[in-house]
Amino acid sequence: MADLDRAGIEELLDLADHFTEVLERDIPKVPALRGATVATLFFETSTRTRLSFEKAAKALSADVLNFNPSGSSLSKGESLKDTVLTVQAMGVDVMVVRHQAVGAPARVASWVDCPVINAGDGAHQHPTQALLDALTLRRRFGKLDGLRIAIVGDIRNSRVARSNIDAFTALGAGVTLVAPPTLLPLEVDSYPVATSTDLDSILGELDVLYLLRVQLERGSGPVLPSLPEYVARFGLDRRRFGLLDKDAVVMHPGPMNRGIEIATDVADDPRALITEQVGNGVAARMAVMFRLLSGRGQP
């Protein structure tokens, strides 16, 4: 995400705006990428992101190959490199790669000739999530300049947080990370952000409250004091929701742990943009694929 400057991000958001219009049509599909093949390679499980990329590719009339590592030759001992080279040999125009290892998509990109889209690598980056979040905020507020955004939760283990810090600050928003000290990244001093350990004290100043999932599978567990204590200090319940400005919005990348980082009635409030985020995810991914693949046959 950090490779894109403001103009680069805004170009993609402008494209995504066009695709949100396409997705609202009775026939939500354009022939822009007819004849192109998109391969999704999710070495780490995911439902929404893979479905979102698949829907985006199909809305552009591209063909989709889904690679599923369980039951593949990977379980027979084939290396990652041989796997992606095999997929490339079948003829694909872009690969969408998610992997639990940091840098894996970049590594894949060095092996293959086609463009590679990072769909999340370990705790490192998740750039299309940041694009869809920026798109959601731009459609809501018109621009991100001057927005006060708090990202709350397990920042240390969150690729969403890292990509969103890059995108939000590049677009002019002010970002505050809110978490227990054990869940802040070690390198936090190098980020262009503020930090806080007291959610209640800043709620009234926010335009956007961005909640992260408590990722027990990615190691939130051992560094959390205790889950009930986390919920008591950082969970968004009705009381805290009431402390927000009336125009402030709540976001969450999903999947939600209802009752932990977000109370169930708050998650269903119209000011929670969680389902809008999902819808905008398709448009944002269409923009990335279209940008990478239009002009692909140029000599």
Q: Which residues are known catalytic residues?
A: 48-49, 76, 98, 126
Tell me: does residue 295 bind another protein (CB under 8 A). yes
Query: Treating both helix axes as pointing N-terminal to C-terminal, what angle do 274-293 and 127-141 enclose, rounded to 10 degrees?
Result: 120
**Shortest Cβ 11–another protein spacing (Å):** 9
| Shortest Å, Cβ 250 to another protein | 29
The residue among 95 and 177 lying less far from another protein, judged by its C-beta, is 95
Angle at the Cα of 123 from the Cα atoms of 118 and 129, rounded to 5 degrees: 45
Q: Is 258 in the site for another protein (CB under 8 A)?
A: no
**Which residue lies nearer to another protein by CB, 12 or 104?**
12
Of the residues 30, 51, 102, 256, which one makes contact with another protein according to CB under 8 A: 30
Residue 64 or 179 with smaller CB distance to another protein? 64
φ/ψ of 213, rounded to 5, equals -75, 140
Strands, sheet with 94-99, edge to edge from the N-terminal-most edge strand: 63-67, 37-42, 94-99, 116-121
Contact, 97 vs 66, CB < 8 A? no
In the complex with another protein, the residue whose CB is nearer, 197 or 294, is: 294
Tokens of 295: 């002009």
Return the residue of 4, 18, 196, 279 that touches another protein, per CB under 8 A.
18
Q: Is 294 in the site for another protein (CB under 8 A)?
A: yes
Find tokens 């800043």 and name the residue: 202
Residue from 6, 8, 21, 242 touching another protein (CB under 8 A): that is 21
Strand partners, 152: 178, 211
The footprint of another protein on residues 60-119 (CB under 8 A) is 60
Task: Pick the binder of another protein from 7, 27, 89, 186 (CB under 8 A).
Answer: 27
Cis before 255 (ω within 30): yes
What's at 219, amino acid-wise? G
* Binder of another protein out of 2, 5, 8, 25 (CB under 8 A): 25
15 binds another protein (CB under 8 A): yes
DSSP class of 258: B
Sign of CA dihedral 152, 158, 161, 164: negative
Site for another protein in 33-62 (CB under 8 A): 33, 35-36, 60
Residue with tokens 């448009």: 283
User: In this structure, what are the phi and psi dihedrals at residue 211, rounded to the nearest 5 degrees?
Assistant: -95, 135
Choose one: 31-39, 47-55, 98-106, 212-220; the region binding another protein (CB under 8 A).
31-39
In the block, which residue shows the tokens 């397990």?
154
SS3 of residue 197 by DSSP: coil
Say whether residue 160 binds another protein (CB under 8 A).
Answer: no
- Residues making contact with another protein (CB under 8 A): 14-15, 18, 21-22, 25-27, 29-33, 35-36, 60, 290-291, 293-298
